[in-house]
Structure formats: structure tokens, C-alpha cells
């Protein structure tokens, strides 16, 4: 690219904000515009999945989300008397198959989440320009010319950018300008009254629900702050005209719950949501990209929407940064589309199945077999618990892109394994294209005492990590020699090499003495696989004499399992060429 123009991000919902933050962290100048004068206050997408938390930790946002959120509370479904409730865990956790820094989803108001993202944006020296609406654009081989309206003055400006990230939501105009079909269905009859309400007389230890979802139900889910609850009412027996004022909402609540000891004393925000389940056939055209709801909208059941948008943003940003900095060709950007479209198609499938249960229609397939599949779902109406139960697959830890042209699997036995299953590879044999697992390790610094840490803490959004499994300290010299073959690729700005020493390696001062000058100069970071967990979760054989290389991408996905250093070279060459060498 001859002139380096900034990237324009359109829309300051979670997807736009995360796109902007991750691009800025990658050294790409960004302008982010939002047509609204004030920010959205709705709780809306309130469940943040473990996989989203992992990707948020790559941009240092995860801890703030943890601090502002609650754990997933048990779900209490009340009997007809309104007082007797059956409580059960709402969502399955990640389990113990490996170390998970975030073993369960967290619950936070989307408005609060967006506010903390804006704070992080501010820390990077940027801010959202409100009252600025994208009204059109044209693109050429070199740039995009965007037309932006100042909604308060009515003035129009032209802005030149290198790329345009369309995070303008489900009603956005960018996909229409691109003439990309938005395929799917609108189900006007499937409605949810959703809002932020303040409530007294109700415990904040449970997510409460009265009535039957398949008829008429109303739920109150506590948020961390004060007396704030997320209200959701649904069911085909709800009145045709749904209330939006305090008095009407109180009446609706009491008619379903029969509880006059619980007082809704304030309605901060309310909306009537109607099911619109659609996705774009493709997510980019040349220099313009669609992310989040702009590319796909879905049932709010399953809590996958906002999470998927965030993962779109993370998938795209590091690739845009490589192209922007001249480290990869434009073709790399097409892999955003190739990697995300199958994942989103499966997300729509999974969340729609829960949607069908909620609205009393037979599921096409049961998510976890708990309902016994289609036949059982037809025989009995789903209970509230059936609908609300979140199986492990929805934690998104198995989401993968094994089919991507830029992932490289060199192990003959692994390359053939696994049909395309975009959401579900967590239990199958790990391979390139999967989420890189986490593990507890010991980090060895010459100047300081060794410290316990995790593998994921080493991952970062602006660098690839080349993990090398070495048989012992004595092999480090040989490793450094081998790395010379790829020294042209090891730009410290973009790639970091981590040598993983086997369990039992002495990381005390005797080790320090054996380390070569180059290691101390920081070219290679040293870790000890203290419980042999890294080898186990990365599915590697016992320590042999040879090195094994695993390349982890900036979005925390395994880019390559490479048997030797030439495999690493091949991975970076394929990446640079965008999968089309």
C-alpha cells in the first residue's frame, strides 16, 4: 500500500469498540464513529463466554469484565403458586480437562461492558465520535472514500481510509451498499419484551422465572449493580400489545408471577425484540468488512450473538494489522470470511434450536442430547429449565477453523482427522485451527526468581508465539542454531519464541549458568512445563530428541503444528501470501 491511511470503524457497539481497541494495540491508527448522540443503555447481551474472556485477555480487558460481572447464577423456575421454585445451574462449566483461566461465563450488562471498553479505548488515546453517521462510501484498489454526516450540524465530510470495518449492527446499511444478501428469516410472532428494571423484594442469588416460556413467562436476572435486573417476558399467550411503561410492566409481572411482595419500582429501558435470524453470504468485499450483528443476527437465546461479534473482531484485527504494516498480502483478509462464515452458520443453527424450544416448536436437534432429540422434543413441551440450560458447547471453547487455508497441520495422522465441525473440536484430537489450550507453567527469568504463570498469559494480540518443545537445557544451543534458519521471520515486533523445557528441568541457578548469551538477550523466553501439562494438552508424545514447533496466532488459535523449523517457515510464507502461495 503506497499511502497508509487509518482504518474507519463504523458503529460503537461491542464489536466496533473491540475492533478499534485491537487495531490500536496493533499500531494501526483508527477512527471510530457512532451515529447515536448518546450511548445505548440496554442490558441486552449479558453473558460473556469463557472463549470471549480469553480473547478479551489478549487486549487486557478480561479482568475489568470479571470485576464488573457476576458468576452465572442458578436458574430458578417457579411453580404456579409463584413461590415454590426448582433451582438448577444455568450453564455448564468448562470442566477440568485442562487449566481454564475462565472456567465459566460471566454476567454483565452490555451497557456497562461497552462503557468499560470505551475506557480502554480512551487509555489508548482514542474516543468514539458520537453523532457521526456513515451515509455512503466508494472503494478503489488503494482506499475507501467514506461519506460521514454530522447529525447535529447536518454537515457532510469525506474521509479517506485504508479499510472500513462495518460494525453498524443488524439494521446497518453497509452490507446493503455492498449488495451482500442477508439470508434467513424474520419471525414477527416470536417476541421478547426485554428491559432494565430496578426491583426490591427479590434475592440477587438466582435468575428467577415465573410462568411457562412456551405459554407466557417473565424472568428477572440480577445484575451486579444495585437493584438492577434484566427483565425478559415471552410466550405466545402474552398480550398482543406489550407494555413499555412502569404501570403496565408491573401488571404484566403480577399477572404471571402472582407475587405482590416483589416491587418493580423503575423501568430504565425497555424494548420489544422480534426474532430476526439471518447472516450475510460473505463478510467482506475488498477493503470493507462486516463484523458482529452487521454480518449476522440471531435469536437472543443461547447468548452467542455479542460473543460471536467480539470473536469476529479479533479474527479480523490482527490480519488487518499485518496487511497494514506490509507484513502480509491483501489475500490474507479473505481468510476472515473463510474462517468465520462456517462458525457463524453453526452459531445460528445452535441458537435457533434453543429459540425453537423457547417458542414451543420442536428443536431440529437437541444440543446435548438432554432432551433425547427431535422425537422427545415433540412429545413434551420444553420446560423453562430445558430452554435455559446451557451445555458446554456454548462456552465456545471448541470453536475452530481447521479448514482455513492459512492453518498448517504437518502431522500426517492429524491432518486427515475431523470433519468440519466449527463449534465442536474441543474433545477431538487437537490440531491446527483449534483454540490453543492453556496450562500452568513456570516462567524462567535469569535476573529474577522463577514464577508460576500460565501459557495464555504469554499470548498477545500483536504477536505470533512460536512454542518450541525442547528435550532439555542442553538442547538450547542447538535450538538457537536451528532458529537461525528462520531469523528473517523472527521480527521481535511480530513473533516471539518460547522454549518449553520438560517437567523436572532444574530452573535454579545451575540452569542459569548453562543458558547461552542469546537466550539471556531475550531472543527466546524459557518456560518449564512443570506438571507436564503443556505436552499433555497439546497432545505431544513423550520428550524425544527432536524439537516440536507449535505456532500460535495473535488471536490465540493454533496456526501450525510443525515437525521442524522448515514447517514454521512454510506457515509464515503461507500466511504472508494469504493462504495462496
Ligand X SMILES: Cc1cc2nc3c(=O)[nH]c(=O)nc-3n(C[C@H](O)[C@H](O)[C@H](O)COP(=O)(O)OP(=O)(O)OC[C@H]3O[C@@H](n4cnc5c(N)ncnc54)[C@H](O)[C@@H]3O)c2cc1C
The site for ligand X (CB under 6 A) is made up of: 10-16, 33-36, 40, 44-47, 110, 133-134, 167-169, 172-173, 194, 271, 273, 292-294, 300, 303-307, 309
Cα 66 to Cα 105: distance, rounded to the nearest angstrom: 10
254 vs 271, which CB is nearer to ligand X?
271
- The dihedral built from the CA positions of residue 74, 274, 41 and 199, taken in this order, carries a sign that is negative
Count of positions (residues) in the chain: 581
Quick one: cell of 488?
528473517
Cα 42 to Cα 32: distance, rounded to the nearest angstrom: 21
Whether 411 and 561 have beta carbons less than 8 Å apart is answered as yes
Smallest distance from ligand X to CB 521, Å: 43
Q: Which of 533, 521, 532 is nearest to 497 (CA)?
A: 521
Smallest distance from ligand X to CB 167, Å: 5
Identify the DSSP state of 100: -
Smallest distance from ligand X to CB 289, Å: 12
DSSP 3-state assignment of 485? helix
- Judge residue 499's burial from the number of C-beta atoms within 10 Å of its C-beta, 0-12 exposed, 13-18 middle, 19 or more buried: buried
Smallest distance from ligand X to CB 421, Å: 22
Q: Which of 220, 297, 308 is nearest to 259 (CA)?
A: 220
Cα 24 to Cα 125: distance, rounded to the nearest angstrom: 9
16 vs 219, which CB is nearer to ligand X?
16
231 vs 526, which CB is nearer to ligand X?
231
80 vs 160, which CB is nearer to ligand X?
160
25 vs 390, which CB is nearer to ligand X?
390
Q: Which residues pair with 285 in a beta bridge?
A: 288
Q: Which residues pair with 391 in a beta bridge?
A: none
Smallest distance from ligand X to CB 316, Å: 12
36 vs 325, which CB is nearer to ligand X?
36
Cα 292 to Cα 294: distance, rounded to the nearest angstrom: 5
Beginning with the edge strand found earlier in the chain, give each strand of the sheet holding 524-528 in spatial order: 408-409, 558-562, 548-552, 464-469, 495-501, 524-528, 440-444, 451-454
50 vs 292, which CB is nearer to ligand X?
292
13 vs 556, which CB is nearer to ligand X?
13
- Judge residue 380's burial from the number of C-beta atoms within 10 Å of its C-beta, 0-12 exposed, 13-18 middle, 19 or more buried: exposed
Residue with cell 501439562: 533
Smallest distance from ligand X to CB 279, Å: 12
11 vs 433, which CB is nearer to ligand X?
11
Smallest distance from ligand X to CB 228, Å: 15
In this structure, the number of other CB atoms found within 10 A of the CB of residue 132 comes to 21
Q: Which residues pair with 193 in a beta bridge?
A: 233, 272
Smallest distance from ligand X to CB 193, Å: 9
234 vs 466, which CB is nearer to ligand X?
234
15 vs 425, which CB is nearer to ligand X?
15
Smallest distance from ligand X to CB 433, Å: 24
Beginning with the edge strand found earlier in the chain, give each strand of the sheet holding 163-166 in spatial order: 128-130, 30-34, 7-10, 163-166, 288-290, 284-285
Smallest distance from ligand X to CB 307, Å: 5
Quick one: cell of 79?
411453580
Smallest distance from ligand X to CB 162, Å: 18
43 vs 494, which CB is nearer to ligand X?
43
Smallest distance from ligand X to CB 211, Å: 19
Helix axis angle, 334-358 to 305-324, nearest 10°: 180
- Counts for the chain of helices (H) and strands (E), in that order: 16, 27
Amino acid at each position: 500500500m503506497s499511502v497508509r491511511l487509518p482504518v474507519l470503524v463504523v458503529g460503537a457497539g461491542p464489536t466496533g469498540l473491540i475492533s478499534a481497541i485491537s487495531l490500536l494495540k496493533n499500531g494501526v491508527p483508527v477512527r471510530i464513529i457512532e451515529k447515536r448522540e448518546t450511548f445505548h443503555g440496554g442490558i441486552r447481551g449479558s453473558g460473556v463466554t469463557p472463549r470471549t474472556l480469553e480473547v478479551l485477555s489478549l487486549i487486557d480487558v478480561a479482568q475489568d469484565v470479571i470485576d464488573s460481572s457476576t458468576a452465572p447464577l442458578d436458574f430458578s423456575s417457579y411453580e404456579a403458586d409463584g413461590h415454590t421454585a426448582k433451582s438448577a445451574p444455568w450453564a455448564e462449566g468448562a470442566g477440568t480437562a485442562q487449566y481454564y483461566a475462565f472456567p465459566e461465563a460471566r454476567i454483565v450488562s452490555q451497557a456497562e461492558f461497552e462503557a468499560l471498553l470505551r475506557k480502554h479505548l480512551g487509555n489508548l488515546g482514542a474516543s468514539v465520535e458520537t453523532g457521526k453517521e456513515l451515509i455512503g462510501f466508494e472503494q478503489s484498489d488503494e482506499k475507501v472514500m467514506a461519506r460521514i454526516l454530522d447529525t447535529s450540524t447536518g454537515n457532510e465530510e469525506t474521509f479517506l481510509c485504508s479499510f472500513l470495518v462495518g460494525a453498524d449492527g443488524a439494521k446497518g446499511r453497509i452490507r446493503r451498499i455492498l449488495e451482500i444478501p442477508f439470508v434467513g428469516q424474520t419471525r414477527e410472532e416470536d417476541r421478547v419484551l426485554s428491559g432494565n428494571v430496578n426491583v426490591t423484594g427479590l434475592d440477587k442469588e438466582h435468575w428467577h422465572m415465573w410462568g411457562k416460556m412456551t405459554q407466557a413467562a417473565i424472568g428477572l436476572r440480577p445484575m451486579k449493580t444495585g437493584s438492577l435486573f434484566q427483565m425478559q417476558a415471552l410466550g405466545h399467550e402474552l398480550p398482543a400489545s406489550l407494555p413499555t411503561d412502569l404501570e403496565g410492566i408491573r401488571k404484566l409481572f403480577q399477572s404471571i408471577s402472582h407475587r405482590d411482595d416483589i416491587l418493580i419500582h423503575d423501568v430504565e429501558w425497555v424494548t420489544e425484540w422480534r426474532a430476526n435470524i439471518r447472516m450475510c453470504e460473505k463478510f467482506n468485499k475488498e477493503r470493507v468488512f462486516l463484523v458482529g450483528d452487521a454480518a449476522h443476527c440471531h435469536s437472543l437465546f443461547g447468548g452467542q450473538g455479542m460473543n460471536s461479534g467480539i470473536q469476529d473482531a479479533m479474527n479480523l484485527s490482527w490480519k488487518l494489522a499485518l496487511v497494514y504494516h506490509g507484513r502480509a498480502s491483501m489475500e490474507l483478509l479473505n481468510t476472515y470470511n473463510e474462517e468465520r462464515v462456517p462458525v457463524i452458520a453453526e452459531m445460528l443453527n445452535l441458537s435457533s434450536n434453543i429459540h425453537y424450544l423457547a417458542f414451543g416448536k420442536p428443536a431440529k436437534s437437541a444440543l446435548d442430547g438432554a432432551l433425547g432429540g427431535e422425537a422427545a422434543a415433540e412429545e413434551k413441551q420444553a420446560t423453562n429449565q430445558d430452554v435455559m440450560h446451557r451445555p458446554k458447547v456454548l462456552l465456545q471453547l471448541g470453536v475452530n477453523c481447521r479448514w482455513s487455508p492459512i492453518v498448517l497441520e504437518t502431522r500426517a495422522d492429524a491432518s486427515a482427522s475431523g470433519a468440519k465441525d466449527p463449534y465442536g473440536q474441543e474433545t477431538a484430537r487437537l490440531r491446527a485451527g483449534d483454540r490453543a489450550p492453556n496450562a500452568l507453567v513456570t516462567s524462567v527469568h535469569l535476573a529474577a526468581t522463577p514464577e508460576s504463570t500460565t501459557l495464555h498469559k504469554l499470548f498477545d494480540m500483536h504477536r505470533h508465539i512460536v512454542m518450541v518443545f525442547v528435550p532439555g537445557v542442553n538442547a538450547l544451543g542447538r535450538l538457537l542454531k536451528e532458529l537461525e534458519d528462520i531469523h528473517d521471520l523472527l521480527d521481535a515486533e511480530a513473533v516471539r519464541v518460547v522454549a518449553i523445557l520438560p517437567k523436572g528441568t532444574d530452573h535454579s541457578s545451575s540452569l542459569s549458568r548453562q543458558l547461552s548469551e542469546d537466550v539471556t538477550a531475550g531472543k527466546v523466553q524459557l518456560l518449564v512445563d512443570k506438571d507436564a501439562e503443556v505436552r499433555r494438552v497439546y497432545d505431544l508424545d513423550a520428550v524425544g530428541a527432536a524439537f516440536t514447533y507449535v505456532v500460535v496466532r495473535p488471536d490465540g488459535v493454533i496456526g501450525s503444528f510443525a515437525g521442524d523449523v522448515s514447517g514454521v517457515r512454510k506457515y509464515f510464507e503461507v500466511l504472508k501470501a494469504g493462504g495462496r502461495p
